[in-house]
Amino acid sequence: MKFEKRAIIFDLDGVICFTDRYHYQAWKMLADKLGIYFDEKINNRLRGVSRMASLEIILERSDKAYSEEEKLAMATEKNETYRELLKNMTPADLTDEVRDTLKELRARGYRLAIGSSSKNTKFILERIGLGDFFDEIADGTDIIHSKPDPEVFLCAAKKLGENPADCAVVEDAKAGIQAAKAAGMTGLALHGDAENCGEEDYNLKNFADLLNIF
């Protein structure tokens, strides 16, 4: 199968690189401090979800009511911990497969962008050596609504100056595929709960498989 597209928009975490363990560690530290049970199964519910929405999921197990000010302070504390952990990332966290595939797609003339709900997107890209690589970046600083709302992908398409129908999205989360489809884009699933979710247009075998369909 071949897709005739002008631009490809990538989710960041779980597609370009993996920061799940840092998110988990940071949320776990906060939950332990609050005396709230938190494990990796609960953490899986946070994939592709905004910081504040993630906090609400964690606080479901709390018998205490928190003010909006307290919640904002918690989210800020978690992010500060997370950013400290992210300092452990280096260009070694970017695989040769991803790096080489991105370079080849660029050489073939595709516009490339990131569409991520994370407000730390630019910091992460810098850490892994892709700070200046993508044509455009749409992230949590640009949007109000998280996936499955299509806002972040529509924002990326607008920044690229491309029609949504001319864009494909690579996602590892079902919510991301739903967002791509809601945006009128082609949804390409790469692992995670996006794979065989029933709403994707194509399941990628691996990242380099992009070179077989573009």
Predicted confidence (pLDDT) per residue in 113-169, tens digit: 999 988 899 999 999 999 999 999 999 999 999 899 999 999 999 999 999 999 999
Please report the pLDDT score of residue 45 as a whole number: 87
Predicted confidence (pLDDT) per residue in 88-121, tens digit: 999 999 999 999 999 999 999 999 999 998 889 9
What DSSP line would sit under 189-201, residue for residue? E-SGGGTT-SS-S
For the chain, helix (H) and strand (E) counts, in that order, are 9, 6
Band of pLDDT at residue 49, cut at 50, 70 and 90: confident
What DSSP line would sit under 103-125, residue for residue? HHHHHTT-EEEEE-S-TTHHHHH
| 148: preceding bond cis by omega (within 30 degrees) | yes
The domains of the chain are located at 7-17+92-213, 20-86
Q: Is 51 helix (H, G, I), strand (E, B) or coil?
A: helix
- 109: CB partners within 8 A, 6+ apart: none
**Which range is least confidently modeled, 40-44, 45-49, 64-68, 201-205?**
45-49
Paired strand residues for 112: 8
State both tokens at 202.
């194509």
Q: List residues with catalytic annotation.
A: 11, 13
- Are 81 and 26 within 8 A, CB to CB? yes
Q: pTM value? A: 0.87
In CATH, 7-17+92-213 is 3.40.50.2300: no
20-86 to CATH, choices 3.40.50.720, 3.30.230.10, 1.10.10.10, 1.10.150.240: 1.10.150.240
